[in-house]
Amino acid sequence: MAQRRWSWARGRVLAGPAVLTAGLLVFHRLVPNSVGRVGSLLEVFLPWLGLVVVVLLVVALLRRSATALVALLLPAAAWTYLFGGLLLPAGESGPRELVVVQHNVGDVNTDPAGTARALAEARPDLIALQELVPAALPVYGRTLAREYPHHAVRGTVGLWSRHPLTGARALDIKPRDITEPWSRGLRAVVHTPYGEVAAYVAHLPSVRVGAGGLTSARRDESAGLLGEAVAAEPLGTVILLGDLNGTVDDRGLSPLTSRMNVARRGFAFSFPAGLPLARIDQVMARSATVTGIRALPATGSDHLPVTARITLR
């Protein structure tokens, strides 16, 4: 049987989805959020458009379509520009570096002691936790006390540190329509060997995906309040650790991502723990660089912990 030759005539239908995928990658900010926050929903899963490129590539190769292959250069280049750098190694440790761990430990976690030990194994300087419930809080405190003698807890969020902490206070990031007690923000000053750093720990409201799209109004409002707090922070260097219930591409977090640096290396998908599809647990910094981020093994939570290296300036 004669081998099928490459053709410019075949695959024109495949070229359409390829160009559309490239357009969504490059111009995702133009997708409106007015109905169901479709734009934000797209941005949550934006890296996964790379799978669309792979599928189209396989079909193009099977059909031996030169037209489709050329068209696929557009989304491939767009994806590489947006996300290719995250695949590169983080590089060597620097002299002015902090290692941090961020984890939503889960309010139904049945093994808080094991979770705390697992986080400490990463040997971080700072550990930020969310969904701290009263019954589990003493367990985290006892388990982390020896290596992390300095800690602050406000509401359901906490920070454990190898270095002294001062000025710990709650952050008011509660959306206006929440009337019950709700405290999910914390700010403290960490006295590191390299100078003072303002550390923020936050847990933004959850979002839901349903038939009507993404429900993120509360999350977006809380992100705006947190962004204002960061903007008003008098210390130059700021580190933010939190379950922000959004990816760094999600425009709902733009009050934060427009003011802070995000990880340059690593995808570190953290949720859901059983099949991680997105990183909603974030580490950001101002006047510092998040040089790399990665996910840690599962604990008793529905989130994976993430650890990041931060180079101070």
Say whether pLDDT at 286 is over 50.
yes
Average pLDDT, whole number, for the chain?
Answer: 94
Q: Which range (31-35, 157-161, 202-206) has the least confidence?
A: 31-35
CA distance 152 to 187: 9
Q: Regarding the domain with residue range 97-312, which homologous superfamily does it belong to in the CATH classification?
A: Endonuclease/exonuclease/phosphatase (3.60.10.10)
Render pLDDT for 295-310 as a digit per residue (tens, 0 to 9). 999 999 999 999 999 9
Checking phi first, is residue 235 left (phi over 0); if not, alpha (psi -120 to 50) or beta?
A: beta
Q: Look at residue 260 and tell me whether its pLDDT is greater than 60.
A: yes
| 3 state DSSP class of 198 | strand
Percent helix, strand, coil in the chain, to 5, is 35, 25, 40
What is the per-residue pLDDT for 3? 60
Q: E-strand spans in the chain?
A: 97-104, 126-130, 150-154, 157-161, 165-170, 185-192, 195-203, 208-210, 213-215, 238-243, 281-286, 288-295, 306-312
Q: In the prediction, which pLDDT does 225 show?
A: 98
pLDDT at 212: 66
Residues in CB range of 278: below 8 A, 6 or more apart: 44, 45, 247, 269, 270, 271
**E strand or H helix that includes residue 22:** helix 12-26
Give the residue extent of every domain in the chain: 12-87, 97-312
Residue 76: predicted pLDDT: 96
Contacts of 269 (CB under 8 A, 6+ apart): 276, 277, 278, 279, 295, 304
The reported pLDDT for the residue numbered 1 is 45
Q: What is the pLDDT of residue 236?
A: 97
